[in-house]
Structure 1
Amino acid sequence: MSKLVPCMWFNGDAEEAAKFYTSLVPNSEITHIQQNVSDGPSGKTGSVLVVEFTVAGQPLVALNGGMKMEYTHALSLMIHCDDQSQVDSVWGAFLAHGGKEQQCGWISDRWGVSWQVVPKVMFDFLTSPDKAAAARAMQAMMKMVKLDEAVLRRAFEGKSAA
């Protein structure tokens, strides 16, 4: 059976991006680097053409396409973080490497790729049979930039933010 593997477009720095992405969370690694076999729009012979890698076990491909392309928010990559410490670590890494904060747990990296950095517990909150509690968690999330698991939990449980 075939599988779906997202391919990300870069302009000469696919390997640098893959190294950064694989540094973010466990179970991430570069699995293959393919060089250009001849000079062309994507680079000189021997330069990096394609980098295959995984982030948290998800296969991805980075392609040096030979020109700059812009990313949009229409597609994002989501990292389910185990706890607030991991949210803080991943968020901090994006910021330290030129990322730009956005609303509701979204951040764009220095290449313009949109990421969602989300504590796993958020999915429990939003899928709860207690619709009022789920709505409180959603409303709290909508006011945040980086998601704060403790604040989300207090909102879910109907406790004050103090």
Structure 2
Amino acid sequence: MKITQHLWFEKDMEAAVAFYTSLIPGSRMETNTAVMADNPSGPAGSVKIAAFTLGDQNYMAIEAGPLDPFNHSFSIMVECDTQEEIDRLWDALKEGGTTEQCGWLKDRWGLSWQIAPKRLGELMSDPDPAKVKRVTEAMLQMVKLDIAPLEAAAAA
């Protein structure tokens, strides 16, 4: 069995996929084709489909005009090992998009992302509820997540 996330783009699907696969190590475009039959979204050749991987996750994308815009009910979460990885991805993905609290942003295509340090999950799993509370309170004050203040909150 294979699980694949599917993303519907109104336009610019190929640019979005090329951008995403350039950012995440181990990612690649698998296929990029046009649907060569008339279909409910348009005439033959107007609808495009791509298969790609981001890291170790499988995705399909379709460019088939407007339908439902992306929203927070689906996001891509990237757990980063270092602050440098967080900064690099955050800066690239926020260009033309919007940033939100707690490490969330929407890219220029409206897709929601969560850029988080792997360390946050470890800190939030600590058996000390007071430590988890401090880390949570620190995280809630951030837009882009920053490992050093999270570690400081855990150590306080």
Do the two structures share a fold, i.e. TM-score over 0.5? Answer: yes
Moved more, 8-17 or 102-111: 8-17
Matched residue of 2:84: which SS? helix
2-side partners of 1:71 and 1:53: how far apart? 18
Paired position in structure 1 for 2:16? 17
C-alpha deviation, 1:43, in angstroms: 4.9
**8 A contact 1:12–1:43 mirrored in 2:** no
Matched residue of 1:63: which SS? strand
| TM-score normalised to structure 1 length | 0.89
Matched residue of 1:80: which SS? strand
Paired position in structure 2 for 1:86? 85
| Structure 1 unaligned regions, length at least 5 | none
Matched residue of 2:23: which SS? coil
2-side partners of 1:44 and 1:154: how far apart? 57
Runs of 4 or more, structure 1, over 3 Å off, are: 39-48
Identity of matched residues, % = 40
1-side partners of 2:40 and 2:12: how far apart? 14
C-alpha deviation, 1:72, in angstroms: 1.5
Matched residue of 2:113: which SS? strand
2-side partners of 1:54 and 1:13: how far apart? 18
Q: Number of residues paired by the alignment?
A: 156
Paired position in structure 2 for 1:77? 76
C-alpha deviation, 1:38, in angstroms: 2.6
More helix by share: 2
C-alpha deviation, 1:62, in angstroms: 0.8
| TM-score normalised to structure 2 length | 0.92
Q: Say whether residues 1:126 and 2:106 are aligned partners.
A: no
Q: Deviations over 1:92-112 (max 9, x none)?
A: 00122x121000000001111
C-alpha deviation, 1:40, in angstroms: 4.2
Matched residue of 1:74: which SS? coil
Q: Deviations over 1:129-150 (max 9, x none)?
A: 1221111111100010000000
Matched residue of 2:93: which SS? helix
Aligned residues: CA RMSD: 1.6
Q: Deviations over 1:61-118 (max 9, x none)?
A: 111123243111122110011110000000000122x121000000001111111000
| Structure 2 unaligned regions, length at least 5 | none
Distance 1:151 1:9, change over 3 A: same
1-side partners of 2:41 and 2:32: how far apart? 14
Q: Say whether residues 1:149 and 2:147 are aligned partners.
A: yes
Trace 1:90-105 onto structure 2 (pairs within 5 A).
90-96=89-95, 98-105=96-103
2-side partners of 1:11 and 1:49: how far apart? 11
**8 A contact 1:15–1:48 mirrored in 2:** no
